[in-house]
Amino acid sequence: MTNKLRYFIGNWKMFGDFSSIKIIHQIHRFCLKYKNINKKNKIILCVPNTLINYFSKKGKSKFVVIGAQNCHYKNFYGPFTGSVSASMLKTAGAKYVILGHSENRREGDTNQLIKEKIKFALNNGLYVIFCVGETLKQKKQGKTFSVLNNQILSSINKSFNLKKILIAYEPIWSIGTGKISKNDDLIKIFKFIKKNFKKKFRTRKFPIVLYGGSVNEKNIRNFSTILDIDGFLIGGASQSSKKFIDIIKNYYK
């Protein structure tokens, strides 16, 4: 059920300026030095919109792909102050976009809006990193599986280009808290997401499923024992090239 390629995706959130391009250069140098490791990896940095174009042009690296963190639910242009559409992100140079992050759900993103966003992101040729996850309360009530099922079924349509959707399982209580799920729980959840997705959408292959929530260079070894985890969505620790590189190194130790 594993997909051999491993994804290390940075979610910079509201962090970074033009000088942060040095992070890309450092990761690029690491990839050049450890070519063998990095043949197995896909490294994507989802940066603020203000940096997408600059990084795509000036940070050009065959190892580091640039992505965005959200987009509007309408395509192209429109009277939506402060918003950016999937087509605009694509033009700016993004190849991926994170959608459905809990920080955006908290600000009003519903499953239905996320579905529209996924549709337009895919229509514009972007890969989608689709975040799902339960709250602590839902976990305690034993609702994790039903929450995940509902989030996935409500925002994905069979007619979508499913090969371009990566699912990121991010328990909300784990994001930025240092708290991590038990391995036994993760194993069950990853199997559930993969099997359920394959069955419901009748895909030939299992989807790519990532883990996100407090991943760092110290706890990454623990995750590497769970083969169904195809990669990681890394927030805080991706804002430092050293930590991000150490996560990749330690994953293979």
Contact residues for ligand PGA (CB under 6 A)? 11, 170, 175-176, 212-215, 233-237
Of 28, 72, 101, 103, which one is the catalytic site residue? Answer: 101
Query: Closest CB to ligand PGA among 67 and 235?
Result: 235
Least distance CB 226 / ligand PGA (angstroms): 17
Among candidates 114, 111, 173, 110, which has minimal Cα distance to 139? 173
Least distance CB 215 / ligand PGA (angstroms): 5
In the three-class reduction of DSSP (H, G, I as helix; E, B as strand; rest coil), residue 153 is classed as helix
Q: Name the burial class of residue 36, with classes exposed (0-12), middle (13-18) and buried (19+) by CB atoms within 10 angstroms of its CB.
A: exposed
Query: Closest CB to ligand PGA among 87 and 155?
Result: 155
What is the distance between the terminal CA atoms of the chain, rounded to a whole angstrom?
22
Q: What are phi and psi of 120, to 5 degrees?
A: -75, -35
Among candidates 97, 24, 113, 90, which has minimal Cα distance to 63? 24
Which residue number has the CB closest to ligand PGA? 235
Least distance CB 142 / ligand PGA (angstroms): 23
How is residue 172 written in tokens?
């909300």
Query: Closest CB to ligand PGA among 104 and 123?
Result: 104
Query: Closest CB to ligand PGA among 70 and 87?
Result: 70
170 flagged as catalytic? yes
Q: Which residues are catalytic?
A: 101, 170
